[in-house]
Structure 1
Amino acid sequence: MRIVIFTNCEWFLPFPGMTNVNQPSPDAAVSLLARHPLLRGLPRDIATDLMRDALPLHAEAGQILFGEGEEARHYLLIETGEAEVMRYGYNGDERVFRVFEPGQLMAEAAMFMPHGRYPMQARARTDLQGWRLDRQHLHQACRRWPDLALKLLAGLSQGLYDQVNKVDWMTSSSAPERLANYLMDLQKRQGDMLTLPLNQRQLAAHLGIRAETLSRLLNDWQSQGTLRGKRREWILLDRDVLARLATTARRPF
C-alpha cells in the first residue's frame, strides 16, 4: 500500500511516492521530542502536550512535505532520514537553505507567521519517517508554559542573529573563504571524512558563488593536497589551510 499525506488534510490517501512502513511509536516520539534543545530542562508534560493529535509521516526521497505558500497548519519532527527546505530562484535554480536531520524540528517558526503560510518548500532528501505536529497545540503550550515561549523566542532570535551574520559574511568574503568556512563547519560534525549534504550546484548557490568557481576551487585544493575526493565525498588532508581561510567568519559571540 502506498500513501501520501496532504498538508491540508487530516487523513491519508493512496498515491505513488510515499511508502507505508511500520507504524512509529508515539511514546518514542515523545521521548525524542523531550530531548530536543527547545524542551531540554522543561517538564516532560510539554512534549506530551505537543504530540497530541500528531500524525505519523512516511515519505520517500524526493517527496514534497509541504509547499511554499501553503497554509502552515503543522510543523514536523524528524525521526529518521533527512529533509530540506528550499526555493526556486527567478531563473529556475534550486536553492537549498537548510538540511534537517533526525531529532530536529522543522517549520516551527512558520507556526507564528502573521500570514499563516509556509515561506519555503520542504522535501524529503531520503526516505523519511517522522510526525506532523499541530500548530494550535504549540500555541496553547506557549500560553500554558511561559518557559517554552521564552526558549522559542531565544531560538528565533539566534536564528535571526545567524542570518544577519551570514549576510554580512556573504557580502564581505571571497569565494575561497566561504567554501573553507562551510567545509570547516561540516568537519566539526563529521570529522575529516566529509559527505556534502548538497550537490555541487546547490552548494554553489548556497554559498553565493558560481558552480564553475566552486569546481575550480575544489580542483585547485586537490592539486595542492588540501583535500581529496569527488562529487559529495571528500577527505580533508590539511585542515590548517582551510581553518586560516575560515577565520574571518568567526565572531566573538
Structure 2
Amino acid sequence: MTKVRNGHQPLPDLLQAHPLLGLANETSRQLLADHAMPCSAERGNRLYDQGDSATRCLFIESGEVCLVCYTEQGEEYVRNHFSAGSLVALPVMFMEHGCYPASAMATGPLKGYWLSRKSLLEACHQDGPLSLACLRYTSEMLRQSLIKSYSLATTDCPRRVAEYLLGLHATQNETALELPLKIGQLAANLGMRGETLSRVLANWRRQELVSGRGNKITLLDLDRLRLIGQLPSR
C-alpha cells in the first residue's frame, strides 16, 4: 500500500478503489491524477460560490460538504450533502453554462482532491466505461433528488425530522449526534420553518425522545423515533 503523504492518500490509489472512477482505464485514471490538486479545508470554509466558473469537481477523501443556495430574500438553505468518496459538482462538469448552481461549504475538517473539468471530459471522450459510470452517478443523484422532493411533498414535519436524525445516527453510529447544520439551515433543508423544527424538538424533549440543544442532540428512544419515521426496528 502506498504511504500517506501530507495527510492525503495518493490519488491514484483512491481512484482505483473508487466504485465509479475505478471503472476507468489506467490511462484515464492517470490523466485525472496528473491534473488534480489536493484540497484541505476546515469547518465553515467556502470551497466555491454559486455562479463561479465550474472548472473542477471535488473528490472527497475524508470529511463532508454541503451545497448551499439562497432565496431572493437572502435566506440560506442546504440543497445536498456529500461525504467521503463522493464527487461534488460532477454533473456540473457536463453542463454547457459551466457555472456552479450552488455554493459548497465544508461542514467539518475536509481533505480531498480537485479534479480538472478539462481532464475529466477528455477522459470520458476516450473511455466508454468511465462515461457510462458518470452517467449512472448523475442519474442516481437525480433519482435521490426526486425521492427527496416527493418526501417533502407527502410527509409531515415530525416524520421528516425523525428520518433525518435516524439517518444521521446510522452515519455517525452514535446516539449522541452532532448536527452538521445550524437549526435554520436544517429546517430549510427539511422543507419547514425554523420555528417548526424547534417546536418539534422541544416537544420530543418533553416526551424524553431526545435531549440536548443547538447542534448537539442525543437520541433517547430509537424505537419510538423509528415509529415516527416509519422505519423498521433493528
Shorter-normalised TM range = 0.7 to 0.9
Distance 2:128 2:194 in 1: 46
Give the letter for the 2:123 counterpart.
A
Give the letter for the 2:66 counterpart.
E
Q: TM-score, normalised by structure 2?
A: 0.86
Question: 1:138-183: per-residue Cα shift (whole Å, max 9, x none)?
Answer: 1122222211111111111111111111111111111111111111
Q: Does 1:161 align with 2:143?
A: yes
- Kept in 2: contact 1:33–1:77 (CA 8 A): no
SS of structure 2 residue aligned to 1:230: coil
SS of structure 2 residue aligned to 1:247: coil
Size of the alignment, in residue pairs? 227
- Kept in 2: contact 1:29–1:79 (CA 8 A): no
Match of 1:77 in 2: 59
Higher relative contact order (CA 8 A, sep 6+): 2
Identity %: 36
Give the letter for the 1:238 counterpart.
D
Distance 1:49 1:144 in 2: 11
Distance 1:159 1:41 in 2: 18
Match of 1:201 in 2: 184
Distance 1:128 1:206 in 2: 21
Question: 1:86-115: per-residue Cα shift (whole Å, max 9, x none)?
Answer: 111112111122233333321111101121
Moved more, 206-215 or 79-88: 79-88
Match of 2:225 in 1: 242
**What CA RMSD, in Å, does the superposition of the two structures yield over aligned residues?**
2.3
2:211 pairs with one of 215, 225, 228: 228
Question: 1:107-134: per-residue Cα shift (whole Å, max 9, x none)?
Answer: 1111011211111111233443332211
SS of structure 2 residue aligned to 1:137: helix
Moved more, 156-165 or 37-46: 37-46
Question: 1:10-54: per-residue Cα shift (whole Å, max 9, x none)?
Answer: xxxxxxxxxxxx8566x7122123322212455455432212221
1:116 pairs with one of 98, 101, 114: 98
Give the letter for the 2:213 counterpart.
K
Change (3 A) 1:146 1:75: same
- Kept in 2: contact 1:33–1:103 (CA 8 A): no
Residues 113-152 of structure 1 correspond to what in structure 2 (within 5 A)?
113-152=95-134
Deviation at 1:58, TM superposition (A): 3.5
2:154 pairs with one of 163, 172, 175: 172
Change (3 A) 1:156 1:103: closer
Give the letter for the 1:195 counterpart.
E
Distance 2:22 2:228 in 1: 35
- Kept in 1: contact 2:23–2:133 (CA 8 A): no
Match of 1:218 in 2: 201
Moved more, 226-235 or 208-217: 226-235
SS of structure 1 residue aligned to 2:21: coil
SS of structure 1 residue aligned to 2:31: helix
Moved more, 52-61 or 227-236: 52-61
Match of 2:19 in 1: 37
2:171 pairs with one of 165, 189, 195: 189
Q: Does 1:103 align with 2:85?
A: yes
Change (3 A) 1:103 1:227: same
Q: TM-score, normalised by structure 1?
A: 0.80
Question: 1:163-213: per-residue Cα shift (whole Å, max 9, x none)?
Answer: 111111111111111111111211211222221111111100101111111
Distance 1:187 1:37 in 2: 24
Unaligned residue ranges in structure 2 (runs of 5+): none
Change (3 A) 1:127 1:187: closer
